[in-house]
Amino acid sequence: MSKILNPDICVIGGGSGGLTVAATAAAFGVDVVLLEKGKMGGDCLNYGCVPSKAIIAAGKHARSIIDGKKFGVFADDPKVDFEKVNAHIKDVIAGIAPHDSPERFRSLGVNVIEGEGIFIDADTVQVGDTKIKARRFVISTGSSAFVPPIPGIQDVDYLTNESLFEQTVRPEHLIVIGGGPIGMEMAQAHHRLGSKVTVIEGFKALGKDDPEMAEVVLKRIREEGVEIFEGTKVVGLKKIKSGISVKVETTNGESEIKGSHLLVATGRAANVHGLGLDEAGIKFDRSGIEVAKNMRTSNKRVYAIGDVAGGFQFTHVAGYHAGLVIQEILFRIPAKENRNIIPWATFTEPELSNVGLTEAQAREKHGDNITVLRWEYAENDRARAERKTEGLIKIIADKKGRLIGISIAGAGAGEMINMWALAVTNKMKLSHVRGYIPPYPTMSEIGKRAVVSHYGPITSKPLVRWLIGFLRKFG
């Protein structure tokens, strides 16, 4: 006979968003069941953010040996033991895994069931021989690597983010299909670790970012030796003795690129299949589950968060969604997603980050009623001392001086965007930034200097000068 559970909340998927919902609900004493058919921690811990940043860190250490010459520090060329690089990646994952483990969440009061949950009707999920009838369900099943139907792909060996970090032998020549954040991060990291790397992008590399800022990053990656082909379509794949042959097409015709390994980094596909969504009356399409601004699906009992809900596919967005859902389910306080306050970062070197509107988006929305401020890293003393002078900050404000978008390309951009995300979230103005004091010498001064430059023309206004002269007469 089937066992029936009646928890207050049933969470399907033990990734970042699902774990946050489960832990928070349990902390308030709410009866919650968490279902996970694979590894706890989801894609981020096991195949995404964590291992990718670990290999990027290894690549930075290799590059620092080369860059040491600028500082008068000399060493032999870096020697990379790729098996030990892989061991470093595994060690980082292992160090975090206990925090996301079934044992820890059970200790928090969460009923963790390791199995695949499937909706069998609008208010029931089945996992094994257990049926779960919860007051509310939260789907947090994430996404998987999207593999396009390239002719010949079924006949060749290829890597995705789910297999890339299992490699213990350095790829001789890594061909990357896809010039988005994942593709460019992995291209630079592997090149720094000794691989020849070629990136093939159908449109523009880092095409979702401000083109001016993206070019700062792409220029550096090209200078380090990564080949980047933009506006290039992959039309065929073939296995050859040395590895793989990629046939590409441009406006100049067809050509062939040969390599030892192939990484497919062409985006993500929401994990919607096999959940019984049709049986539950939950609408979905290729991009994911359809949700309202409060993350509720077409089935009023069910919410969807994170990658599976479409939109921005970042770990921190899943956490943000989790907070909205907790607000709705536990406290009955209406919640509404605001994508304008969500920051993102690409962890190449230099880094690339953004919050709010890009310049193009701001002009489309506000026309010419915006202020665009820039300041170069090269004008910052700390950047000079560190020899990290590539890049700039771009600050966009509306006609009232309210901050509506910030982009940073340069060293530490992923950390620097935090303050600006807070400013955009709280609808702060240029005048607020003008009044704060950054410590010297830090790269965060770059943003302050950009804002102060906005007020420079005031010094030459006749009325202001007259007022200063008038006040001087009083001693």
pLDDT means over runs of 10, the chain (475 residues): 92 97 98 97 94 98 96 93 98 97 97 98 96 98 97 97 96 98 98 98 97 98 98 97 96 96 97 97 96 98 97 95 97 96 98 97 96 98 98 98 98 98 98 96 96 89 88 86
Say if pTM beats, i.e. exceeds, 0.75: yes
Q: Which class in CATH covers the domain with range 3-40+101-145+269-337?
A: alpha beta
Query: Which of these, 384, 291, 284, 391, lies nearest to 348 by C-alpha position?
Result: 391
The dotted CATH code for 153-266 is 3.50.50.60
Q: How many other CB atoms are there within 10 angstroms of residue 133's CB atom? A: 15
Strands of the 3-5 sheet, one edge to the other = 3-5, 130-132, 124-127, 118-121
Look up residue 392 and give its two tokens: 């700039």
User: Domain 341-460, what architecture?
Assistant: 2-Layer Sandwich (3.30)
Residue 206, Ramachandran bin (φ over 0: left; ψ between -120 and 50: alpha; else beta)? left
Q: What is the pLDDT of residue 456?
A: 85
Query: Which of these, 93, 84, 86, lies nearest to 43 by C-alpha position?
Result: 93
Q: What is the pLDDT of residue 239?
A: 97
Assess whether the region 153-266 and the region 341-460 belong to the same CATH fold. no
Q: What is the pLDDT of residue 475?
A: 77
Give pairs for 151-158: CB < 8 Å, separation 24+: 151/235, 151/236, 151/237, 152/236, 152/237, 152/238, 153/237, 153/264, 155/237, 155/238, 155/239, 156/237, 156/238, 156/239, 156/244, 156/262, 157/239, 157/244, 157/262, 158/237, 158/244, 158/262, 158/263, 158/264
Q: What is the pLDDT of residue 122?
A: 97
CA distances from 63 to 50, 341, 387, 388 (A): 20, 34, 14, 13
Q: What is the pLDDT of residue 1?
A: 63
- Between CA 150 and CA 461 the distance in angstroms is 62
For the chain, which residues make up each domain, given as ranges?
3-40+101-145+269-337, 153-266, 341-460
- Between CA 402 and CA 404 the distance in angstroms is 6
